[in-house]
Amino acid sequence: MTFTGIPLWATLALAAGATAAIALLHLLRVRPRELRVVTTLFWAHAAERTRARTLLERFRHPLTFALLLAFCLLLVLALARPEWTKEPQRRVYEVIIVDAGLSMGARDRPGGEPLFDAARAEAIAEANRLSSQDRLAVVVTDPHPRLVHRFEDPPPMLRQQLSGLEPADVPAATGDALRLAGSLLHGRQNPHVVLITDRPGDQVAPPAGARSFDLTVVDLGRALDNAAILSALFEPDDKNPLRGRFAVRAGYWGESPREMTLQVARGGGAPLLTETRVMSPGETSDYDVADLPCDGDELVVTLSPNDALEADSRGVFHVPLRAPIRVGVEGSVPEVLRIAMEADRAVTIAGDVGDGDVDVVVGRARPASGRPAIIISDDGPEVSAGQPITVAGKSPLLAGLDLTDATCGSGASLGALDGDARPLLTAGDEVVAAISTDGALARVYLSSALTAADADIGWRPAFAILVARALRSLAGWDDDPLVLAPQRVVEDPLWARRQDHGGPVVGMPGSRRASDLSRAGVTDVEAVAPGSGRWAGPPLYATVLILALGLFLLEAVLHARGRIS
């Protein structure tokens, strides 16, 4: 323990002085004269409310002496502002790798907790075992390694950071995770890696090239022999969007290869597909039913033989009742915008301008096709990179979007708007996004400063949601977009809500960020990441101070209640 407020010698001197003063007061306390009387019967009543009126009188009670002495000593200690001594030589840098691959989603019974929950609990328990001086980072492989907790993050954040994660649909890249851990621990003291997985320890080894560290494998034990329907996807046909392909992905994990049969049938009707394959442990397999009409019909998917885990062996899905939004593009669409559009699986990029329902036009103010369009414009004055973006108007497109600290990249603004166009977003005085509803011809204008590769906003989920909403609005859809990870997507955007399969965290393809759409106004977990000033427990001196005040209060209460008189 070190003292940052006053030096140790001064602390000891103060403590000695306080002790001497309190002891002196105790020695000088009023000592009552003893007197034998015929009875104390009436004096007991008389003394009932005879309380000490001064602090000196209180010292006649030894408990007061003890409490006030402890109070003074703790006060001196708090003034010295003690801190637990950091011992850099003994500090451990540890990386916990949480396997979030396919097999970690296994459940041992319907409605039971998946293995990943046990892994999450084990990670938190391992973090709690570390001392306060140790540093911890957590990597989750879902399926690719991803750093969710950094060495600098406060430990209490870990639980929240792990809470929204879900296992992936494919086996985890554990080797890559170990390589990432090695790079994180490079140059650190006492490097240690804990791998929490369902794989046996002898199957896990640091890949060649990984840096040296101590590796501990926490084997959670394998799940029961299990197979599961992992996802279902309806992909519209490029030529005829009213028909499409229904793709089902099934996974298997167990001890040995096994024959699995997947059947897809219309609700109450004949099977559309019955296919049997031999699947190896950890393998996923895709099944397709081609040329299905978008008629909103019910499709029942069954995986057999039934492994007694019916929760994930039978699924009911609905084919969408309408065509997807087909987008025709002209010019070189910025990568940021393309990723944002592809994130919404209700959108297909059909081809050239005029081929789709909505056009995306780059660099031309007036598209010739006469369809609703997103126009990427650079007609206005230049905007410097890093300029903060602010919301300029009210629009359903902006509802609930978190644009806190969002900045634009280097590019041009929109300049002067057309007569009926309304600004959506601005950077400084310049408009960078706007919307125009000129009769039936709707337009959304995005400036090149907004879609530049160095634009911070372009990599936020809020931007993908804004683009998805814009496309749906332009296509005449009236529902709210839902951005889904590609592994979990099915064409109907409402499917995810009905199936309750995923959880609140959804990802954007190509982005390492994630958003929690269940919390209003939060679209980025990094908004609550380290350095956000979260309370992580009071410092030691505050605890000591609180304890001292508590003792003082205790003495006062005991005195008021007559326990000390």
Partner 1 sequence: MARLFSEDFIRAIERLRLVARQAPPGGLHAEHRSHDLGCGMEFRDFRAYVPGDDVRRMDWNLYRRSGRLFLRLFEAPEDLPVHILLDVSDSMFFEAPPRADAARQMAAVIAAVALNQHDRVGIYPFGIDLVTPLAPASGKPALPRMLQYLEQLRPAGTTDLIHSTRRFATRRQRAGLAVIISDFFDPRGIDQVIDALRSLRHRLLLIRVVRPRDASPDLEGELRLLDCESDRSVDVSVTGDSLTRYRQAYQAFEEALSRFAARRRALHVTIDADRPVLEQLGSVFVGGVLMT
Q: Report residue 160 as tokens.
A: 């929240």
The binder of partner 1 chosen from 9, 37, 87, 531 (CB under 8 A): 37
Q: How far is the CB of 65 from partner 1 (least distance, A)?
A: 15
In sequence order, the 6+-apart residues with CB closer than 8 A to the CB of 297 are 266, 267, 318, 319
Interaction between residue 47 and partner 1 (CB under 8 A): yes
The binder of partner 1 chosen from 4, 40, 274, 532 (CB under 8 A): 40
The site map against partner 1 for 376-395 (x = CB under 8 A) is: --------------------
Kindly tell me which of 60 and 322 has the beta carbon lying closer to partner 1: 60
Cα–Cα dist 51/94, whole Å: 59
Task: Tell me the β-bridge partners of 388.
Answer: 407
The binder of partner 1 chosen from 9, 42, 187, 500 (CB under 8 A): 42
Listed ranges 46-54, 67-75, 215-223, 407-415: which one lies at the site for partner 1 (CB under 8 A): 46-54
The binder of partner 1 chosen from 38, 208, 416, 440 (CB under 8 A): 38
Nearest to 182 by CA among 272, 108, 286, 95: 95
Question: Measured between alpha carbons, how far is residue 542 from residues 80, 181, 535 in Å?
Answer: 11, 36, 13
Q: How far is the CB of 25 from partner 1 (least distance, A)?
A: 16
* The 3-state secondary structure of 331-346, one letter per residue: CCCCHHHHHHHHHCCC
Task: Tell me the β-bridge partners of 107.
Answer: 114
Interaction between residue 239 and partner 1 (CB under 8 A): no
Kindly tell me which of 60 and 519 has the beta carbon lying closer to partner 1: 60
Interactions with partner 1, residue window 284-343 (CB under 8 A): none
Nearest to 181 by CA among 221, 138, 239, 120: 138
Task: Tell me the β-bridge partners of 506.
Answer: 515
Nearest to 526 by CA among 261, 147, 90, 238: 147
Interaction between residue 34 and partner 1 (CB under 8 A): yes
Q: How far is the CB of 29 from partner 1 (least distance, A)?
A: 10
Q: How far is the CB of 534 from partner 1 (least distance, A)?
A: 53
Kindly tell me which of 50 and 131 has the beta carbon lying closer to partner 1: 50
* Residue found under tokens 């209460």: 557
Interactions with partner 1, residue window 536-565 (CB under 8 A): 565
Listed ranges 41-49, 125-133, 220-228, 519-527: which one lies at the site for partner 1 (CB under 8 A): 41-49
Interaction between residue 278 and partner 1 (CB under 8 A): no
* Residue found under tokens 């621990």: 185
Interaction between residue 35 and partner 1 (CB under 8 A): yes
Tell me the residue length of the chain.
Answer: 565
Interactions with partner 1, residue window 168-187 (CB under 8 A): none
Nearest to 325 by CA among 284, 288, 365, 294: 294
Buried b (16+ CB within 10 A) or exposed e, 108-131: eeeeeebbbebbbebbbebbeebe
148 contacts 140 by C-beta, under 8 angstroms? yes
Listed ranges 28-36, 194-202, 358-366, 399-407: which one lies at the site for partner 1 (CB under 8 A): 28-36
Kindly tell me which of 29 and 107 has the beta carbon lying closer to partner 1: 29
Task: Tell me the β-bridge partners of 375.
Answer: 361, 445
Listed ranges 26-34, 74-82, 484-492, 546-554: which one lies at the site for partner 1 (CB under 8 A): 26-34
Number of residues that bind partner 1 (CB under 8 A): 24
* Residues found near partner 1 in the complex (CB under 8 A): 30-50, 57, 60, 565
